[in-house]
Structure 1
Amino acid sequence: MSSVVVYGDVSPNVIDGSSIWLMSVSEVLAGVFDEVHLQLKNYPQNRTLLESVDGLDNIHVHEPEGIARDAALSTQEAAHLVEELIEQTHASAVVVRGFQAVYDFCSYEKISSKLWAYVTDLPFPPSKLSPTKVQRLKYIAEHSHRIFAQTEAARSYWEALVPEAAGKVLLIPPMIPDYAFVEESSIQRADSETLRIVYAGKLAREWRTLEMLKLPRALKELGIDAHIDVVGAKFNKAKDDPQWAGMMRSALEEATSDPESGVTWHGALPRTESIEKIKKADLGFGWRSAELDSSLEVSTKALEYSAAGAVPIINETEDHQQLWGEDYPFFVRADDSIDVVAAKISQGLPNMDAARRSAKQASEYFSMGQARARFKQYFERTGALSEAVKRQGTRPCRLVVASHDLKFMGELMDFLVRNPLFEVRQDEWATLHTHDAEVSQELAEWADVVFCEWAGPSLAWYSNNLPSGTRLISRLHRFELNGPWMQEVNWENVETLVFVSDWVRTQAIERFGLPREKTMVLPNTVDTLDFDRSKNANAQFTLGLVGMVPFLKRPDRALDLIDELASIDKRYTLRIKGRMPWEYPHVWNDPVEKQLYLDFFERIARSEVLQAHVAFDPFSADIASWYRGIGYILSPSEIESFHLAPAEGMAARTIPVFWEREGVSEVFGEHAAGWTQETRIERILQNCDRKNFETNGRSARDFAKKWDIKAVIPQWENLLAGNQTASLVPGPKGNVPKL
């Protein structure tokens, strides 16, 4: 039985975007989990908002406890109640909305490990962020299991502000009820002499709702009979004008009582009734002030208008152009006057039918059906929907992970720690060669399985100090092949040696005389979901190189390529991401390596072309966000065991560009075939056509799915646990049967 707890720091007695979101996410999660437990902040005064979830049997609404009927839960009080719900329901996930709520919930251990945090009120731009708020965001990132962001822009913003969030942020776009969508065959303007316009949402100065009331009269002066239906009863206070909310209410009441105004105010309505009003309208009013043009969110209401067949009047922003198209006829600007808005509406009316179809297509991605599929994928990938098989008298497999560096084990380590089949402890080696032998011995006595990440001195030590019956598994990347410690490994005590590519395995078998049955290939993992992000407009003219140290990475080859490309088409640029060579003392202190890099940088300094077309991006954790602007990922290295950079790039629909080296075809197959300097130039230029670029990007991503965590990590589970954990016998130790 899977269950989730949902809490939004919003009142169920006010109908606005936040409270509607709370109902929407609960409704969507009801199709993903067996049970949804919705904890309310306030006692509901009526069922207007809750009506949409009241009919769903697996949504359980929990009213506040321990407070007065007219009071509201503090975020701390809400956290205590959510902790109790976790205990009662064995919930595997907790979805929380609101900055303060998320921040406070992070302090509760029972919640933190299950917390899916949605911070909607992120200050933007960064200049509005205080150091205190940045630290709080960092705390949230470190103590949340996952983080939600509404748009790609918001996700990139999160990861740039808080590196700890990279790899944790998932998209949660607006959710439009499936019943809101009209059939395409019915998308046509109603036969009516009156142009019907609808506004549904909060009454706020930034939403131009006061100016909106003048629109019917402005249209009438252009010979257009128009009427506005206004749905909503939440009046937002203006920050610098305490009189504004009262003025708005008075203007609505006055307009509604005036038959000549062309305005009818309906007050707050349930979402179902609100959508019915929208379906009867020709246009949906979505004009906003300039300060909202830089918002990191998409207007849920504009999408709802689009789904229901009311063509939205919206600000012309880059995000809106991507969704509704550059030629959309009902774009307005924040600084337009009401007369200009009326004129643009008049000019757009002949294109109403086409605009309706365009708007509906833009909204389809945001349906609740699509949202349900996204959520199911999210929670499945993190194990929140899985049910571990537990039998009486059994215990988890005791697993020790020994390593000096876990940089290639991120997703795997997270999976193992959260998997109830394992009890994980780590033997942290201070360096490749340095460890606390006493601690290692204690862990060896405790373990059922020891896994040495890197076949380094840790493998040599454990192979000679492991108790009888304890399994020993290790992963060899590449550099270990030449390690002098390999002579000390007792191979009889090593059950399985794992490699990231068959090329490295072949070398190890030949060098150490290993039986092939003691080896296996498990590639590096890539979180293809994290890299599934839309490309920026100029990506097809941008080449990327991740990592230029040591010089075996051959960054000079990347300069050769961009030098020639830029001489053909000046739109091409090269971005090199990663740490500089002087940040690695062992490299910068090597006179040969140092001279190679000095020559490299001097070449750029002496070339006007390279100076104009080569840029350097610092090392950062938000690599998936960086790939949004990269069309081609270069792999010019002389030697690699696997090369994660092109694998991640391919997952991001970035086209890989290879140079010949041993083992490259075994890892990248057809994508590594036939590359010469001539074909590199030719293939890149062919992708000037956007359709070719997108087709080849999809092909690269399809190939990368073989490295996805969902494809690779189950193999690790079978290897480490033997897929027989349930047969572990009770007792002070207990061993996992050998494979």
Structure 2
Amino acid sequence: MAEHPTPETAEIPAAARVRVLLYGDVDLNVMDGSAIWLPSMAETLTRAGAEVHVQLKAEERRDLLTAPLRALDGVTVLEARPRAGQNSMEPARAATVLAEADERERYDVVLVRGIHMCSELAERHAFPGRLWSYVTEFGYVAGEFSSSRQETIGAIAAASRLMLAQTPQARAVLEAMVPAAAGRTEILSPMVPDEVRPVERSAEHAAGPLRMIYTGKFAHDWHTDKMPAILEHLTEAGVEARLTMVGDKVHREPKRSGWASRMRTLLNADMPGFEWTGALSRVESMDRMAHSDVSLGWRAPRLDLSLEISTKVLESCALGVPPLVNRTTIHEELLGTDYPLFIDALRDDAEAIARRLQGVQERLPELSAHVLAAAEPYRMTARAEALRGYFARLGLLDQAPAAGTLSADAGQHASPQAGESGAAQSADAQNAEAVSVSPRRTRVVVAGHDLKFAGELVDMLRDDPSVELRLDHWSTLHKHDESASTKLIDWADVVVCEWAGPNAVWYSKHKRPGQRLVVRLHMFELRGGWLENIDTDAVDALVTVSGLYRDLTREHMAIDPAKVTVIPNAVSVADLDRPGLPDRRYRLGLVGIVPLRKRLDRAVDLLEALRRHDDRFTLHIRGRMPWEYAHEWRKPLQREGYLDLFARIGGSDLREVVAFEPFGADMGTWLTKIGWVLSPSTTESFHLAPAEGMVSGAVPLVWQRPGAVGVFGEDFVVPDTEAAAERVLAAVADDEQYGRLSDLSRQRVQGYDERAVAALWHAALFPAAAS
């Protein structure tokens, strides 16, 4: 492990480094994967430009992991402080110790691993806006996500600035099951040190016995009791072989009486070619693995649905040692579908595994090069760069992107994920104690009945250390607690009215001298009878979501045109930039079909036209059904229009290729399977879904309507359905053409990135600071 900062880290002045308090609910006296994670995480954070304080959970009884941790530049180790008579800190005690450390140092990020620890911090509303929660226990195996666990993790997500998931699969499940996690979940995959490399092997070694190794805990579902049998079958087949097992943590297995005792007997057995080393330091353990030919990762079938990727598997690959592992989706993505050392967990036994190893013995040098390449994205340098991106996303590093090439008057609401994130965390923002600074922080109130589109704004304000934020959440468009609003307007320096509704009327009538009032108008407000009651002289800035609505607002309201401006509501490039799935170009996506002006009929027409040429096309419709909107379903023309459309789909072969998918916050995952995001509406203030899809390389297909070109540019706007079909068929027939459109989508959407939009909001709210 590196004992010095990388050149990139060394260039960052100490004062400019992100200050991180790191805690894992793990005992570093026990050598296993979760314990090894803590020093690896600390080192990766330092490479990302952080100053790291690691709080230990347990008193040190040995220093196999803590000694290398203390040797890292940029890392300070804080001793465990358990209660009297205990060796380690339970979550309540650890939460108190972390809070005391933060009082002394004031960290930028508090990164915590472990569901019980994160739950304790969530209940305390600890570290608002700074808590990064890494919860691996939400379902180590997919399908074990109970309702109680869902509730617990939902509370953790609502209290966290970021949720961390080990793999894209884990993130997808987390976002689908816990809406509060959508829009704030980042990938924190295992990492291996750059210095972990294959050792030079002599010709004698290459011609010697087949060297197998297992490192880690000894547990029933890890099949450690069956591994010595592999050695026996190889020996019986005339293959000279060795098996080394490293570790000393034997699970008690309460449901399997006598298993732990039998495991210890096996470990102590006098078997030819077998060695049990006991616990080794991480360096010694990896040295043993580096001099092996194959690492063993055979597990029980129920773990095939695991949402994690083993650090041990990655370390083995980084050492050029091919791992023998169960065939799973995650392992196939890492090693390829034709990797020859996959185990069928339901069928293969020790004898079958021995035959497989014997069959690939001559290919081991080739497999070594293959797995070495697979490990490269997981090296600390690569993972540190990802962490720097997360720091930049939160404004902890100055890497905000410049405005992109989309029109400056384009924009609409923030991602539903981001909006729900901001609303879910509002309690933290209100409950956070003010930090004593000089001068005092600017007091900002955000007021409105529906804050789901204000997520990027709430996040920006919460992350700004110079701002103290409170929310005035109206119960409905027209109803609020007037006494609470009166206290807030007496307190605030700046008021933001989300929606130009009755909230804007009330605040414009009660604004104090010297106070700044900013109102955001989306679309429906232009039809509201209250609009003329807004005291526009009291409004300092009226923000609209697109150039079209800027112009309409100037026409419909008696307001100084100079006060009306455009701020595009953001998409989170950091969150939505995810690799697209294979064959996405044959999948059309439509988000939202209510009201009828969303023009589901155009999407169905397009699907029919495309399938006349290629039957691989499908249409995926996401969102609530029209009868879920009572005010729309009561309208006879609306209801009849939908019934006719559904009858058309159900009465033809389209019923097999149109998928109605429920509303959900996990748009990022859903969009990775969509190649074309449709916007067939006759009118929109913007239409968020195509912009969100563009981040992952999906291509927007926008029917011509007022304001469409100003939002998306001419490249993605078509005059009618026939032209849309021609566009799709031409691109699908030419890989390079679809690739160019996909790349252009990614490029164009950068102007809506949440960091670029945050800069515009900052200028609107705090013009003195901007000047």
TM-score, normalized by the shorter chain, greater than 0.5: yes
Query: Partner residue of 2:4?
Result: none
Q: Distance in 2 between matches of 1:696 and 1:364?
A: 29
Query: Partner residue of 2:107?
Result: 91
Query: Partner residue of 2:72?
Result: 56
What per-residue deviation string (whole Å, max 9, x for no partner) do you get for residues 498-532 of structure 1?
22222222333344476554332211101122212
Equivalent residue in structure 1 for 2:189, among 154, 157, 173: 173
Could you tell me how far 1:464 is from its partner in structure 2?
Answer: 4.2
- Identity value in percent: 38
Q: If the length of structure 2 is used for normalisation, what is the TM-score?
A: 0.86
Equivalent residue in structure 1 for 2:264, among 249, 264, 268: 249
Q: Residues 64 and 249 of structure 1: is their aligned pair in 2 closer, same or farther, counting only changes over 3 Å?
A: same
Could you tell me how far 1:547 is from its partner in structure 2?
Answer: 0.6
Describe the SS at the equivalent of 1:543. strand
| Aligned partners of 1:227 and 1:263 also within 8 Å | yes
Could you tell me how far 1:617 is from its partner in structure 2?
Answer: 1.4
| Aligned partners of 2:47 and 2:381 also within 8 Å | no
Query: Partner residue of 2:665?
Result: 621
Could you tell me how far 1:543 is from its partner in structure 2?
Answer: 1.7
- Which contiguous aligned blocks of 4+ residues in structure 1 show a shift greater than 6 angstroms? 185-189, 688-692
Q: Distance in 2 between matches of 1:419 and 1:516?
A: 30
Counterparts of 1:197-208 in structure 2, within 5 Å, are 197-208=212-223
| Aligned partners of 1:306 and 1:360 also within 8 Å | yes
Aligned letter for 2:180?
A: E
> Are residues 1:308 and 2:353 paired?
no
Could you tell me how far 1:478 is from its partner in structure 2?
Answer: 2.4
Query: Partner residue of 2:388?
Result: 376
What per-residue deviation string (whole Å, max 9, x for no partner) do you get for residues 307-365 of structure 1?
11111112122221122111112222113122211222233334334422331222112
Aligned letter for 1:613?
A: V
Query: Partner residue of 1:283?
Result: 294
Could you tell me how far 1:624 is from its partner in structure 2?
Answer: 1.7
Aligned letter for 2:285?
A: S
| Aligned partners of 1:566 and 1:613 also within 8 Å | no
> Are residues 1:709 and 2:754 paired?
yes
| Aligned partners of 1:51 and 1:270 also within 8 Å | no
Query: Partner residue of 1:734?
Result: none
Q: Distance in 2 between matches of 1:142 and 1:407?
A: 14
Q: Show structure 1 runs of 5+ residues with no match.
A: 726-738
Query: Partner residue of 2:635?
Result: 590
Describe the SS at the equivalent of 2:207. coil
> Are residues 1:141 and 2:157 paired?
yes
| Aligned partners of 1:187 and 1:353 also within 8 Å | no
Q: Distance in 1 between matches of 2:748 and 2:254?
A: 52
| Aligned partners of 2:587 and 2:618 also within 8 Å | yes
Q: Residues 310 and 658 of structure 1: is their aligned pair in 2 closer, same or farther, counting only changes over 3 Å?
A: same
Q: Residues 675 and 53 of structure 1: is their aligned pair in 2 closer, same or farther, counting only changes over 3 Å?
A: farther
Counterparts of 1:595-606 in structure 2, within 5 Å, are 595-606=640-651
Aligned letter for 2:91?
A: T
| Aligned partners of 1:37 and 1:62 also within 8 Å | yes
Q: Residues 432 and 240 of structure 1: is their aligned pair in 2 closer, same or farther, counting only changes over 3 Å?
A: closer
| Aligned partners of 2:606 and 2:722 also within 8 Å | no
Could you tell me how far 1:75 is from its partner in structure 2?
Answer: 1.5
Equivalent residue in structure 2 for 1:23, among 24, 27, 39: 39
Could you tell me how far 1:555 is from its partner in structure 2?
Answer: 0.8
Could you tell me how far 1:163 is from its partner in structure 2?
Answer: 2.0
Q: If the length of structure 1 is used for normalisation, what is the TM-score?
A: 0.90
Describe the SS at the equivalent of 1:234. coil
Q: Residues 179 and 564 of structure 1: is their aligned pair in 2 closer, same or farther, counting only changes over 3 Å?
A: same
> Are residues 1:154 and 2:180 paired?
no
Q: Distance in 2 between matches of 1:550 and 1:269?
A: 65
Equivalent residue in structure 2 for 1:219, among 234, 257, 264: 234
Q: Distance in 2 between matches of 1:375 and 1:653?
A: 22
Higher RCO, 1 or 2 (CA under 8 Å, sep at least 6)? 2
Aligned letter for 1:280?
A: H
| Aligned partners of 1:29 and 1:375 also within 8 Å | yes
> Are residues 1:409 and 2:454 paired?
yes
Q: Residues 190 and 568 of structure 1: is their aligned pair in 2 closer, same or farther, counting only changes over 3 Å?
A: farther
| Aligned partners of 2:129 and 2:462 also within 8 Å | no
Could you tell me how far 1:385 is from its partner in structure 2?
Answer: 5.9
| Aligned partners of 1:6 and 1:36 also within 8 Å | yes
| Aligned partners of 1:33 and 1:385 also within 8 Å | no
Equivalent residue in structure 1 for 2:340, among 325, 329, 332: 329
Describe the SS at the equivalent of 1:96. strand
Equivalent residue in structure 2 for 1:358, among 358, 370, 373: 370
Could you tell me how far 1:639 is from its partner in structure 2?
Answer: 0.8
Q: Distance in 1 between matches of 2:440 and 2:363?
A: 67
Describe the SS at the equivalent of 2:126. helix
Q: Show structure 2 runs of 5+ residues with no match.
A: 1-14, 400-434
Query: Partner residue of 1:40?
Result: 56
Equivalent residue in structure 1 for 2:528, among 471, 478, 483: 483
Q: Distance in 1 between matches of 2:221 and 2:677?
A: 42
Q: Distance in 2 between matches of 1:187 and 1:712?
A: 58
Describe the SS at the equivalent of 2:28. coil
Query: Partner residue of 2:443?
Result: 398
> Are residues 1:498 and 2:498 paired?
no
Aligned letter for 2:208?
A: E
Query: Partner residue of 2:701?
Result: 657
Query: Partner residue of 1:637?
Result: 681
Deviates most, 528-537 or 144-153: 528-537
Could you tell me how far 1:90 is from its partner in structure 2?
Answer: 0.8
> Are residues 1:268 and 2:279 paired?
yes
Aligned letter for 1:721?
A: F
Deviates most, 475-484 or 630-639: 475-484
Could you tell me how far 1:77 is from its partner in structure 2?
Answer: 1.3
Could you tell me how far 1:489 is from its partner in structure 2?
Answer: 3.9
Deviates most, 210-219 or 171-180: 210-219
Q: Residues 572 and 348 of structure 1: is their aligned pair in 2 closer, same or farther, counting only changes over 3 Å?
A: farther
Query: Partner residue of 1:106?
Result: 122
Q: Distance in 1 between matches of 2:364 and 2:380?
A: 26
Aligned letter for 1:707?
A: Y
Q: Distance in 2 between matches of 1:723 and 1:328?
A: 61
What per-residue deviation string (whole Å, max 9, x for no partner) do you get for residues 532-591 of structure 1?
233344534322111111111101111112223334333322121111112222211222
Q: Distance in 2 between matches of 1:691 and 1:305?
A: 37
Could you tell me how far 1:56 is from its partner in structure 2?
Answer: 1.9
| Aligned partners of 1:189 and 1:352 also within 8 Å | no
Aligned letter for 2:571?
A: V
Q: Distance in 2 between matches of 1:503 and 1:712?
A: 18
| Aligned partners of 2:295 and 2:323 also within 8 Å | yes
